[in-house]
Structure 1
Amino acid sequence: MLGVGENSWDHWIQLEGFPTPGEKVPVSATGEGAGGQIATALRSCAELGLSAAYLGAVGADGLGTRALAPLRSAGVDCSGVQVVPGAATRRAFIWVDGEGERTVFAVSDPALRMRLTELDTRRIESSALLMLDSEDLDVARWVVARARAAGVPVLLDAERWETEVREILREVDFPIVSGAVARQLSAAGDLGEGLRELMGADTVMAIATLGARGAVARHGERVLEVASPRVEVLDTTGAGDVFRGCFAWGLHRGLGAEELLAVAVRGAAFSCSGRGAQDKLPGREDLLRGGS
Structure 2
Amino acid sequence: MQANVVVIGSLNMDLVTRTERLPHPGETVFGQSFATVHGGKGANQAVAASRLGARVAMLGCVGSDAYGTQLREGLLADQIDCQAVRTVSGSASGVALITVDAKSQNTIVVVAGANGCLEPQDIKTFDQVLQGAQVLVCQLEVPMETVGCVLARGRELGKVVILNPAPVSGPLPGHWYATIDYLIPNESEAWALSGVTVDSLESAELAARRLVGFGAGKVIVTLGALGALFVSAQRVAHFAAPKVEAVDATAAGDTFVGGFSAGLAAGMDEDDAIRFAQVAAALSVTRAGAQPSIPLLRDVQGFARS
TM over 0.5: yes
Point out the structure with the larger helix share.
Answer: 2
Q: SS of 2:22's equivalent?
A: coil
Q: Distance in 1 between matches of 2:49 and 2:135?
A: 11
Q: Is the 8 A contact 2:62 2:114 kept in 1?
A: no
Say whether 1:51 aligns with 2:51: no
Q: Distance in 1 between matches of 2:155 and 2:8?
A: 15
Aligned-pair CA distance for 1:137: 1.0
Q: Distance in 2 between matches of 1:201 and 1:165?
A: 10
Q: Is the 8 A contact 1:125 1:146 kept in 2?
A: no
- Identity %, equivalent residues: 29
Q: SS of 2:231's equivalent?
A: strand
Q: Give the corresponding residue for 1:145.
A: 152
Q: Is the 8 A contact 1:88 1:112 kept in 2?
A: no
Q: SS of 1:177's equivalent?
A: coil
Q: Distance in 1 between matches of 2:87 and 2:297?
A: 33
Aligned counterparts, 1:63-142, within 5 A: 63-109=67-113, 112-119=116-123, 120-135=126-141, 136-142=143-149
Q: Is the 8 A contact 2:47 2:80 kept in 1?
A: yes
Say whether 1:270 aligns with 2:283: yes
RMSD: 2.4
Q: Is the 8 A contact 1:174 1:207 kept in 2?
A: yes
Q: SS of 1:31's equivalent?
A: strand
Segment of structure 1 superposing worse, 234-243 or 193-202: 193-202
Q: SS of 1:53's equivalent?
A: strand
Instruction: From 177, 181, 189, give the equivalent of 1:173.
Output: 181
Q: Distance in 1 between matches of 2:256 and 2:134?
A: 18
Number of corresponding residues: 292
Name the CA shift for 1:286/1:220 in 2 (closer, same or farther; >3 Å): farther
Q: SS of 2:265's equivalent?
A: helix
Q: Distance in 2 between matches of 1:21 and 1:142?
A: 38
Aligned-pair CA distance for 1:78: 0.6
Alignment gaps of 5+ in structure 2 = 198-202
Q: Distance in 1 between matches of 2:289 and 2:151?
A: 30
Name the CA shift for 1:87/1:19 in 2 (closer, same or farther; >3 Å): same
Per-residue displacement from partner, 1:65-96 (whole Å, max 9, x unpaired)? Answer: 11222211011011111111222111011010
Q: Is the 8 A contact 1:137 1:165 kept in 2?
A: no
Instruction: From 203, 224, 228, give the equivalent of 1:211.
Output: 224
Q: Runs of 4+ in structure 1 displaced over 6 angstroms?
A: none
- Counterpart of 2:118 in structure 1: which amino acid? M
Aligned-pair CA distance for 1:22: 7.8
Say whether 1:239 aligns with 2:252: yes
Q: Distance in 2 between matches of 1:186 and 1:19?
A: 30
Name the CA shift for 1:84/1:123 in 2 (closer, same or farther; >3 Å): same
Q: Is the 8 A contact 2:61 2:114 kept in 1?
A: no
Say whether 1:199 aligns with 2:208: no
Aligned-pair CA distance for 1:205: 2.6
Please, what TM-score do these two structures have when normalized by structure 1? 0.91
Q: Is the 8 A contact 1:239 1:272 kept in 2?
A: yes
Aligned-pair CA distance for 1:250: 1.3
Q: SS of 1:71's equivalent?
A: helix
Q: SS of 1:270's equivalent?
A: helix
